[in-house]
A and B are shown apart, each in its own frame.
Chain A
């Protein structure tokens, strides 16, 4: 060992020591299981007996499993609507909460509050909101003469219900948007005012470019979150397999059907899909994301 290396090691030892609990935890409880699941996904394993190596059979079986495709379809349809709506809702609310109004801190707290509530509690609450007979939505609808649908019982309304429910959680995106909006230099808006720009002009030419990196961040996080939805589906359910979300089917395979290998393969397929989508978005980002001080 060279003396230089020794010196560096000595200097950094305390640092490593301090982060060692995290490193150990990370290796044992995250990195280890990740690598293990690669192997498990290539086995036939009921979790009790010894795993039997079967190569890519699980992946092949997935391709022929109608429920796998159904789960993918349900999950993607959900994300396709829920992610843009959440981004738009988050951004719109953040802009409202960026106004100079008395008591704004109270409003900000109120709008962020739903994001702090545990997923299970939220899901239980929404089950009531969607109740056909006495639920909040249908009661309001009946006041204006509309007979509300059977939200969670009618297969056609299950996904819309979930999308509405997901809007409850835009608080996190909103918070990040709000921080970005507050960072926007006032001088830009002032000069725009002098030039006679309208609100729409200011939004389109100043606000949007300035927050586009944040939009990118929220988009990616939103997609990952949307594709991984589980708690709501586990608690709320829905007619037939109209709420058979990917993670729910994965859980069923792992812990009800005892097909841990198959479930692991599903996890890796979802990982590959998310990775691919993220890469595409990142690669496309120079086209629509504006970074200050960086010339195209």
Chain B
């Protein structure tokens, strides 16, 4: 009898514990009680590998030391970042501040998940918005509101293997190159070095990266205008796609798609099998052992253009203390500017080598030159669906050689217009 009663009470005790443990999650999400001089906890979600996370943790510790009213707690999310983030937000345990890549900003902002920081930023004497490059700032803006501060802005530049150029007796690429010159040299660098009848050195490589944007925009075209109008089927855009198509399928200067897929796009360059590579500004391509690599800007068409990979730190709309969260967001972002390259602010462009001493002069020059014209994504609330649509109808078939650039561009443009019209 007694034992039974004990068991019953134990059962309910456990049940109670379980239920409270589950429900308490709801409130633990964001910064509790700023009262009585206690520091507000600001949860900060970020992606990154183990090494990067350790560096970021050190940075967070530094920021926390100088902060008087908050304490940032880092939540590293090494894999499946957006799946995890989406689940946390849906479950009301959103981190107070978090990384958000440019293509997700309109999607999150339109769903009212992000804190509008326009007022805070405008009234913040300690913040100089004018110091930011326009393009990164544009990608953290949705409608007329600012939803975050960019922490990185990496223009795509062209890395090249100097040994390969020396061997072929070709002068190094520079900022005067256009696509014709580029194609010509890429063909010259492509060869069978050991005479086994199979190519083992290529001039260039592409498999969906680098983004087709680069070619399209350099010929004066684009996927969308800044107002979101589809211009993918304009003659300029088609011209750009035709150049990319020729590089992929006519010149023979690019490895087979399957070879690239399995040996790795950048890995082939690092292994010294590819002469020229378009990479992000902070890639480690120019510090590979036994490989001398320099960089310059990507070749020009009728205009100068390159892709810009941008990410921001944003805040959750549900954060408990927006004022303090904004402060933490600003301090954290500014700290990151001095840690990661390329900082999206003009005042630090000359300090790239102080931030990242391993970056060679030529790469730094290429970055500086690219920054003013490097463009990010236009941004749409359903960017992911647009990206799938573009991949399925344009990029994928273009890489496989199924269809002419003109056909593909026209078909894709039609589908994009239809999609946008249906989702307005």
Contact = CB atoms under 8 A, between A and B. Distances in A.
Interface of A: 10, 13-14, 17, 20, 24, 28, 46-49, 127-128, 131-135, 150-153, 155, 239-241, 252, 255-258
Contact of B111 (A48, A128, A151): A48
A133 B259 contact: yes
B249 to A, nearest CB: 14
A47 B89 contact: yes
Given A20-B11, A24-B18, A48-B89, A132 B259 contact: yes
Greatest chain B CB density within 10 A among A10, A128, A258 is at A258
B351 interface: no
Nearest to A47: B90
Given A46-B111, A48-B89, A257-B385, A132 B392 contact: no
B262 A127 contact: yes
Interface of B: 4, 7-8, 10-11, 14-15, 18, 22, 82-83, 86-87, 89-90, 107-108, 111-113, 256-259, 261-262, 382, 384-385, 388, 392, 396-397, 400
Given A47-B90, A255-B86, 5 more contacts: A17-B10, A48-B89, A241-B392, A256-B388, A258-B111
Contact of B82 (A151, A152, A255): A255
A131 B384 contact: no
B11 A252 contact: no
A240 B90 contact: no
Contacts of A151: 258
A10 B18 CA distance: 23
Contacts of A241: 392
Given A128-B262, A239-B396, A13 B7 contact: yes
Contacts of A133: 256, 258-259, 262
Given A20-B11, A48-B111, A258-B86, A152 B258 contact: yes
22 contacts: A14-B7, A20-B14, A24-B15, A24-B18, A28-B22, A46-B111, A49-B111, A127-B262, A128-B262, A131-B259, A132-B256, A132-B259, A133-B258, A134-B262, A150-B256, A153-B258, A155-B400, A240-B400, A255-B83, A256-B384, A257-B385, A257-B388
A153 B400 contact: yes
Given A17-B7, A48-B113, A258-B107, A240 B83 contact: no
Contacts of B82: 255-256
Contacts of B111: 46, 48-49, 258
The 3 closest A-B pairs by CB, nearest first: A132-B258, A48-B111, A47-B90
A257 B419 CA distance: 13
Contacts of B259: 131-133
A22 to B, nearest CB: 13
Greatest chain A CB density within 10 A among B86, B108, B111, B384 is at B86
B4 A10 contact: yes
Nearest to B86: A47
B282 to A, nearest CB: 25
Contacts of B107: 258
Nearest to A24: B18
A132 B83 CA distance: 33
B328 to A, nearest CB: 22
A152 B108 CA distance: 34
Nearest to A260: B90
A257 B383 CA distance: 8
Contacts of B83: 255
